[in-house]
């Protein structure tokens, strides 16, 4: 078997060196549907076995990409002059010494981790965080649904507290929204920490972001109550590697798995029990039992001022690495033309891994069996994917056990290849452009989180990151979506970047319809946190995420090359390329005004200053 795979790679390399690839003028026009199809037919073939992290199939994909980069004269930008950055995935044991100290009207009480409060397994580096307590009810800001617990409040620099599972008017898909409360309090409202109840689905870190659970399984099943996985941590054993195909790998050891630095200071996201909240609310002369009863019946929760409550969080955990597994990012660079600006960068990214293969034949969807309930499904909760209401999956071909990932994210993989070729064989912009094919996205954003913590170039020299994940289809296979691409995050960190992308689109011979629905903070899929761009955005780098949305073949054996819309794929790659050229030629970095998401459902166009 092994030699047959190698023969395939050799054949591909020989074909290249025989001059199948003609050196054109480069640029956007060099991005063609025919070439994208050619590359994707290999990347998403059964030979690559679904490209699961740590497998032979992923290695074949890495070699294929690297050989093309070499052919186009894209320079290596990985470790030691190679095209590869080794990603170390550590299994870590934790010794918990963290605590929360609450001062109420001069009276003090300390709750240790595991005794009334629970810190994530990966609580980050040691630090002490202090702030005034601010109670924000259900902790939700969903103005479109008529819910805004933050209205009229400034929680900046404070410790946010929230309770419950949302009011009766919670929109569909509320679990991700509940799971995002702590993260949103910190990222959007600039709280220094967040404390929520230790009931399922209602707490913070990891409940929605980048854990394997978030990437591939329903959030409701992902996290046992009271033990939220940390950002950058996955509960052991890579559960997100849905679909099997682990190839006899060892079970993951350790309390959590991470690729990130363990000394990173992370804003605390903590869950707490009744005793903790009892003490907090005693300050305001309120009984927590009354508030809890209202929360349990999803009634309106009264505002409670906690003026005399201050909270000190002492993050103190010791970590021991007990296992390391290795995978690789593929990294290439085209140097900029400006002697001053060439030491600054625009990053382009996609993930080249997928979820592997089913070790047993997948069960077809049936009316009795909600879609996505099987391993590798990923829609969760019986709901249809991304709002594709009423759609059923195709019955797979008999014996088809391979999740080809043609759209996810074979489409982005070949899209970034085309962009790299366009830069390498075309005009050079002032800044350098770097291309990263991330490994292990499906297992918890492994490759991008590693790159963001151990970058190959200094992050403060990175002007923007443009990420592509699933750009080869029409959302829910709707023909009306043929010219639509969804943009997420473009306006959150840099308004200027958003506007550059709008200008790039207008400059295309045939502009696309840019849709910001998934950028809406009330979007139930929390897409902003669910692909590799989020690893860079978390470091303050402006990003744009390009996707064509979910469909019924998502994370299923039927995500195959035959279903890809190659002209659309080429068109979006041209848009990303054109935006990249604009950013790379700018004499300054796109300004980071951090105004958060403004373009949402139904919005379009540039944002005025
Ligand atoms: Zn993906």
- Give ion ligand 1 contacts, CB < 5 A: 408-409, 469
8-state DSSP, 70 = H
Ligand 1 center–CA 197 separation, angstroms: 31
Ligand 1 center–CA 530 separation, angstroms: 8
Q: Are 232 and 124 in contact (CB under 8 A)?
A: no
- Mean pLDDT for 513-536 is 90
Ligand 1 center–CA 442 separation, angstroms: 7
Q: What is the pLDDT of residue 385?
A: 60
8-state DSSP, 144 = G
Ligand 1 center–CA 483 separation, angstroms: 20
- Mean pLDDT for 560-578 is 98
| Selection from 305, 278, 291, 290 nearest residue 109 by Cα | 278
Ligand 1 center–CA 545 separation, angstroms: 11
- Tell me which of 7-11, 102-106, 504-508, 532-536 is least confident: 7-11
Confidence of residue 494 (pLDDT cuts 50, 70, 90): very high
Look over the chain and give the mean of its residue pLDDT values, rounded to a whole number.
86
Q: What is the pLDDT of residue 15?
A: 44
Q: What is the pLDDT of residue 363?
A: 66
Q: Are 85 and 194 in contact (CB under 8 A)?
A: no
Residue written as tokens 């923007």? 464
Strand 147-148 vs strand 345-351: parallel, antiparallel, or unpaired?
Answer: unpaired
Residue 22 class from Cβ within 10 Å (0-12 exposed, 13-18 middle, 19+ buried)?
exposed
Q: Tell me the CA distances in angstroms from 432 to 30, 102, 129, 253, 588, one per residue in order.
A: 19, 50, 39, 40, 14
Ligand 1 center–CA 408 separation, angstroms: 4
**Secondary structure element (H or E) that encloses residue 324, with its range:** strand 317-334
Please determine, for residue 236, whether its predicted confidence score (pLDDT) is greater than 50: no
Ligand 1 center–CA 412 separation, angstroms: 8
Ligand 1 center–CA 349 separation, angstroms: 11
Q: 201-210, 371-380, 571-580: which has the highest mean pLDDT?
A: 571-580
Q: What is the pLDDT of residue 252?
A: 67
Ligand 1 center–CA 553 separation, angstroms: 12
Q: Is 127 left (phi over 0), alpha (psi -120 to 50) or beta?
A: beta
Q: What is the pLDDT of residue 13?
A: 47
Ligand 1 center–CA 564 separation, angstroms: 15
Q: What is the pLDDT of residue 393?
A: 85
Please give the Cα distance from 176 to 208 (Å, whole number).
6
Ligand 1 center–CA 441 separation, angstroms: 7
Please give the Cα distance from 276 to 280 (Å, whole number).
6
Please determine, for residue 369, whether its predicted confidence score (pLDDT) is greater than 60: no
- Tell me which of 180-194, 225-239, 389-403 is least confident: 225-239
Ligand 1 center–CA 205 separation, angstroms: 20
8-state DSSP, 113 = B
Ligand 1 center–CA 521 separation, angstroms: 20
Across the chain, which distance is largest between two alpha carbons, in Å? 81
Confidence of residue 144 (pLDDT cuts 50, 70, 90): confident
Ligand 1 center–CA 273 separation, angstroms: 36
Q: What is the pLDDT of residues 246-261, one digit of tens each?
A: 433 456 689 999 999 9
Confidence of residue 153 (pLDDT cuts 50, 70, 90): very high
Task: Count other C-beta atoms under 10 Å from residue 247's C-beta.
Answer: 14
Q: Are 415 and 351 in contact (CB under 8 A)?
A: no
Q: What is the pLDDT of residue 253?
A: 85
Confidence of residue 504 (pLDDT cuts 50, 70, 90): very high
Ligand 1 center–CA 376 separation, angstroms: 13
Ligand 1 center–CA 304 separation, angstroms: 42
Ligand 1 center–CA 272 separation, angstroms: 33
Ligand 1 center–CA 20 separation, angstroms: 30
Ligand 1 center–CA 139 separation, angstroms: 29
Ligand 1 center–CA 549 separation, angstroms: 10
Ligand 1 center–CA 311 separation, angstroms: 39
Higher pLDDT, 84 or 171: 84
Q: What is the pLDDT of residues 317-333, one digit of tens each?
A: 999 999 999 999 999 99
Ligand 1 center–CA 433 separation, angstroms: 22
Please determine, for residue 242, whether its predicted confidence score (pLDDT) is greater than 80: no
Write out the two tokens for 531: 């692909």
- Tell me which of 25-34, 36-45, 172-181, 505-514 is least confident: 172-181
Q: Are 196 and 161 in contact (CB under 8 A)?
A: yes
Please determine, for residue 545, whether its predicted confidence score (pLDDT) is greater than 80: yes
Ligand 1 center–CA 547 separation, angstroms: 9
Q: What is the pLDDT of residues 437-472, one digit of tens each?
A: 999 999 999 999 999 999 999 999 999 999 999 999
Please give the Cα distance from 186 to 268 (Å, whole number).
9
Write out the two tokens for 279: 């003490």
Ligand 1 center–CA 154 separation, angstroms: 36
User: Is the backbone peptide bond immediately before 310 cis, with ω within 30 degrees of 0?
Assistant: no
Ligand 1 center–CA 215 separation, angstroms: 8
Please determine, for residue 364, whether its predicted confidence score (pLDDT) is greater than 90: no
Write out the two tokens for 320: 């021991």
Please give the Cα distance from 138 to 147 (Å, whole number).
9
Q: What is the pLDDT of residue 47?
A: 98
Please give the Cα distance from 177 to 203 (Å, whole number).
10
Ligand 1 center–CA 253 separation, angstroms: 26
- Measure the CA angle with vertex 503, ends 526 and 545; round to 5°: 20
Radius of gyration of the chain (CA): 24
Ligand 1 center–CA 286 separation, angstroms: 47
Ligand 1 center–CA 407 separation, angstroms: 8
Please determine, for residue 384, whether its predicted confidence score (pLDDT) is greater than 80: no
Ligand 1 center–CA 570 separation, angstroms: 18
pTM for the structure as a whole: 0.83
- Mean pLDDT for 343-372 is 78
Residue 106 phi, psi dihedral angles, 5° rounding:
85, -10
Ligand 1 center–CA 156 separation, angstroms: 33
Please give the Cα distance from 20 to 403 (Å, whole number).
29
Q: What is the pLDDT of residues 267-324, one digit of tens each?
A: 999 999 999 999 999 988 889 999 999 999 999 999 899 988 999 999 999 999 999 9
Ligand 1 center–CA 366 separation, angstroms: 25
Q: Are 538 and 452 in contact (CB under 8 A)?
A: yes
Determine the 3-state secondary structure of 415 from DSSP.
helix
Q: Tell me the CA distances in angstroms from 273 to 3, 115, 149, 204, 454, one per residue in order.
A: 57, 9, 21, 14, 37
Please give the Cα distance from 435 to 465 (Å, whole number).
10
Q: What is the pLDDT of residues 467-485, one digit of tens each?
A: 999 999 999 999 999 999 9
Ligand 1 center–CA 240 separation, angstroms: 12
Q: What is the pLDDT of residue 5?
A: 40
Please determine, for residue 395, whether its predicted confidence score (pLDDT) is greater than 60: yes
Please determine, for residue 572, whether its predicted confidence score (pLDDT) is greater than 80: yes
Please determine, for residue 210, whether its predicted confidence score (pLDDT) is greater than 60: no
Confidence of residue 174 (pLDDT cuts 50, 70, 90): confident
- Mean pLDDT for 20-35 is 79
Please determine, for residue 229, whether its predicted confidence score (pLDDT) is greater than 80: no
Q: What is the pLDDT of residue 251?
A: 60
Ligand 1 center–CA 192 separation, angstroms: 31
């Amino acid at each position: 078997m092994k030699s047959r795979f190698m023969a395939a790679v050799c054949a591909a390399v020989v074909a290249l060196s025989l001059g199948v690839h003609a050196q054109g003028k480069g640029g956007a026009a060099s991005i063609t549907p025919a070439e994208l199809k050619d590359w994707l037919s290999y990347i998403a073939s059964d030979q690559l076995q679904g490209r699961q992290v740590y497998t032979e199939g992923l290695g074949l994909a890495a070699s294929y990409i690297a050989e093309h980069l070499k052919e186009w004269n894209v320079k290596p930008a990985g470790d030691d002059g190679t095209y590869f950055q080794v990603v170390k995935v550590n299994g870590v044991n934790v010794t918990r010494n963290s605590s929360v100290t609450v001062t109420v009207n001069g009276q003090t009480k300390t709750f240790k981790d595991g005794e009334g409060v629970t810190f994530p397994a990966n609580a980050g580096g040691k630090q002490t965080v202090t702030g005034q307590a601010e109670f924000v009810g259900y902790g939700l800001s969903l103005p479109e649904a008529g819910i805004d617990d933050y209205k009229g409040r400034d929680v900046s620099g404070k410790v946010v507290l929230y309770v419950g599972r949302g009011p009766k008017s919670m929109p569909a898909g509320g679990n991700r929204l509940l799971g995002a409360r702590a993260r949103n309090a910190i990222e959007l409202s600039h709280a220094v920490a967040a404390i929520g109840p230790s009931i399922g689905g209602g707490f913070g870190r990891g409940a929605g972001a980048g854990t394997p659970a978030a990437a591939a399984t329903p959030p409701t099943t992902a996290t046992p109550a009271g033990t939220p996985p940390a950002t950058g941590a996955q509960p052991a054993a890579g559960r997100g590697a849905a679909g099997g195909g682990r190839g006899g790998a060892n079970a993951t050891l350790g309390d959590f798995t991470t690729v990130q630095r363990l000394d990173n200071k992370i804003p605390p996201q903590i869950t707490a029990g009744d005793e903790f909240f009892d003490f907090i609310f005693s300050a305001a002369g309120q009984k927590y039992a009354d508030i809890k009863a209202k929360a349990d019946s999803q009634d309106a929760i009264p505002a409670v001022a906690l003026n005399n409550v201050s909270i000190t969080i002492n993050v103190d955990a010791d970590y021991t690495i007990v296992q390391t597994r290795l995978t690789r990012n593929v990294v290439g660079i085209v140097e900029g033309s400006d002697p001053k600006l060439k030491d600054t960068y625009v990053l382009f990214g996609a993930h080249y891994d997928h979820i592997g293969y089913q070790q047993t034949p997948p069960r077809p969807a049936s009316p009795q069996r909600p879609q996505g309930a099987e391993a590798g499904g990923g829609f969760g909760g019986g709901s249809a994917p991304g709002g594709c209401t009423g759609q059923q999956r195709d019955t797979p071909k008999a014996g088809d056990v391979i999740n080809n990932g043609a759209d996810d994210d074979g489409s982005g993989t070949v899209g970034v290849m085309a962009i790299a070729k366009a830069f390498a064989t075309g005009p050079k912009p002032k800044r350098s452009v770097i291309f990263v094919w991330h490994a292990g996205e499906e297992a918890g954003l492994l490759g991008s989180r590693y790159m963001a913590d151990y970058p190959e170039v200094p992050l403060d020299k990175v002007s923007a990151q443009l990420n592509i994940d699933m750009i080869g289809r029409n959302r829910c296979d709707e023909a009306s979506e043929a010219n639509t691409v969804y943009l997420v995050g473009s306006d959150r960190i840099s308004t200027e970047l958003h506007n550059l992308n709008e200008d790039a689109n207008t400059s295309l011979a045939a502009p696309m319809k840019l849709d910001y629905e998934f950028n809406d903070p009330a979007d139930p899929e929390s897409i902003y946190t669910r692909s590799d761009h989020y690893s860079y955005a978390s470091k303050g780098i402006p990003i744009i995420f390009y996707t064509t949305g979910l469909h019924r073949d998502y994370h299923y054996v039927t995500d195959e090359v035959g279903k890809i819309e190659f002209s659309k794929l080429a068109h979006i790659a041209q848009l990303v390329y054109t935006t990249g050229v604009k950013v790379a030629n700018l004499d300054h970095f796109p300004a980071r005004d951090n105004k958060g998401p403004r373009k949402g459902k139904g919005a379009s166009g540039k944002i005025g200053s």
